[in-house]
């Protein structure tokens, strides 16, 4: 076994994956068992007013074709809908549909519970400091903040 410390990227990814696993388990238990991590990567970037497919692809860091495929799947399952863009009659927006809106509070409840567990494990002050540091790190890592 390697005794070298894990890099920061991996240390950030491991808890994210643990949270994601719990979110997907709760979604499946609530009847949203046809939702995949790849679809979630696109879905979680949809703003309240909707987004163009090209923007979702860019933010998810996937090709427009891949984003289109995932949005097609999400649309067939009732999680999203395509609507006319009010600012450009030729364009369409991807917007959260009724089934997607129903799934959001299920996921949000799990995220809140996991964050509470992490805060209890780390202690309130360290958990708050971790949030502050990660928020600060976002300044140089997230072009979509």
8-29 and 98-122 helices, crossing angle to 10°: 130
Whether 82 and 102 share a structural domain: no
Tell me the pLDDT tens digit for each residue of 57-114.
999 999 999 999 999 999 999 999 999 999 998 999 999 999 999 999 999 999 999 9
- The answer on pLDDT for 1 being more than 70 is no
Residues paired with 83 in a beta bridge: 93
Whether 64 and 38 share a structural domain: yes
As a whole-number percent, the residues of the chain with pLDDT over 70 amount to: 99
Whether 55 and 92 share a structural domain: yes
Domain count, the chain: 2
Decide: residue 87, CB within 10 A, 0-12 exposed, 13-18 middle, 19+ buried: exposed
Domain, as residue range, for 143: 1-33+98-145
Whether 40 and 90 share a structural domain: yes
Whether 9 and 61 share a structural domain: no
Whether 23 and 38 share a structural domain: no
For residue 88, what is the domain's CATH number? 1.10.10.10
Whether 120 and 85 share a structural domain: no
């Amino acid at each position: 076994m390697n005794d070298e410390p894990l890099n920061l990227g991996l240390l950030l990814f491991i808890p994210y994956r643990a949270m994601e696993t719990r979110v997907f388990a709760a979604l499946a238990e609530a009847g949203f068992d046809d939702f995949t991590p790849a679809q979630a990567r696109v879905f979680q970037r949809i703003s309240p007013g909707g987004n163009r497919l090209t923007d979702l692809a860019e933010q998810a860091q996937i090709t427009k074709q891949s984003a289109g495929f995932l949005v097609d799947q999400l649309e067939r399952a009732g999680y999203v809908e395509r609507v006319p863009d009010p600012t450009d009659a030729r364009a369409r927006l991807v917007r959260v549909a009724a089934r997607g809106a129903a799934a959001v509070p299920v996921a949000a409840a799990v995220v809140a519970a996991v964050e509470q567990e992490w805060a209890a494990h780390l202690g309130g002050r360290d958990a708050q400091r971790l949030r502050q540091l990660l928020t600060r790190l976002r300044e140089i890592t997230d072009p979509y903040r």
